[in-house]
Homo-oligomer: A and B are copies of this chain.
Amino acid sequence: MLERKGSILSVREDIKVFDCTIRDGGLVNNYQFSDEFVKAHYEACVASGVDYMEIGKNVSPTIMSEDEYGPWNFCKEEDIRRIVGENNTDMKIAVMSDIGRSLKEELRPKEESVVDMIRIATYIHQLPAAIELIEDAHAKGYETTVNVMAISKSFDDELTEVLNQLAQTPVDVIYIADSFGSFYPEQIVKLTEKYLKIAEASGKKIGIHAHNNLQLAYANTIEAMTYGASFLDVTVSGLGRGAGNCPMELLIGFLKNPKYKLMPILKFIEEFIVPLEKELDWGYSIPYMLTGQLNEHPRPAMKARDEKNTEYREFYRDLLKE
């Protein structure tokens, strides 16, 4: 069994607070954030000591429509620079690549970009394509992570094989992604042990990306951290698809490193999240709980929320039928 790393009062220098508010939040509003919103968010992250900010996805405009999706679905260099300038801060900028939607031909070399890190999100069946993107981004000078999605549906030996293959790549961080928000803390401990064993042998770090379907996003994040995960994904007020993510303000309130500050996040929440809550729907609710408990994609729950459907028994019966 794994040892806990550090105590509840210790400062662990390996911890990285990773903000993905714009990227995961963009799934709620098709990346239609105003520049004012993204700029204020960027400044809040810098002021609060966040280590990385993921500003969106680098989907190719040849594949998804710029009429339908806002700029943060594409993350053109000029759009990012309009917000962060040269980003002369201690915070690094990340962008997420989707397999089949992000094209390596469109990724410029690191020295021509203000972006520091490329995060590759992949399903298990897309692994060879993900490895191509990892190798390309690494060769171009970026830090890289890989988020293997939907692992709660995979077999253990299949996941082992995936991790062994990723250990051979130059990727810097391998993420435990709880795509359906269905994992319990004791399962997260076992996953952390499994990931860490393979990753540490090849000099990589482990990250955790949790969802809040069972009100466990924060608990699972600190559990993974306690047992050795160091890249911790959060979003302000949990803004993100479906039941949302681990709230940044909870994690910052827990970490003892004095570099992290709560006040700038509270400012951003006051000024930008309070009004947004009247427009957009995200966060824990009964339909997300039900898809989480059944280890299913939140898609039907998103539909129920869109339709303001509170006929929970019928919703549950339909889920059980599938």
Contacts and interface: CB of A to CB of B under 8 A. Distances in A.
Given A226-B186, A312-B269, A215 B214 contact: no
A266 interface: yes
B219 A186 contact: no
A274 B310 contact: yes
B223 A214 contact: no
Contacts of A269: 286, 312
Interface string A192-228: 0000000000000000000010111111001100100
A30 interface: no
Interface in A171-193: 184-187
Contact of A289 (B249, B263, B289): B249
Contacts of A212: 215
A8 interface: yes
Interface residues on A, range: 35 or more
Given A4-B186, A186-B226, A249-B289, 20 more contacts: A8-B184, A184-B222, A184-B254, A185-B185, A214-B218, A215-B215, A215-B218, A215-B219, A216-B218, A218-B219, A249-B286, A253-B289, A253-B290, A254-B293, A263-B313, A263-B316, A266-B286, A266-B316, A267-B313, A270-B312
Nearest to A185: B219
A217 B216 CA distance: 9
B250 A215 contact: yes
Interface of A: 4, 8, 184-187, 212, 214-219, 222-223, 226, 247, 249-250, 253-254, 262-263, 266-267, 269-270, 274, 286, 289-290, 293, 310-313, 316
A156 B223 CA distance: 24
Contact of A250 (B214, B250, B270): B214
Given A8-B186, A187-B8, A313 B219 contact: no
9 contacts: A184-B254, A185-B222, A214-B250, A215-B215, A216-B219, A249-B289, A253-B289, A253-B293, A274-B310
Given A249-B286, A254-B184, A311-B270, A316 B262 contact: yes
A257 to B, nearest CB: 15
Contact of A313 (B185, B254, B266): B266
A310 B212 CA distance: 23
Nearest to A283: B284
Contacts of A219: 185, 215-216, 218-219
Nearest to A267: B313
A140 B219 CA distance: 42
A316 B270 CA distance: 12
Contacts of A310: 270, 274
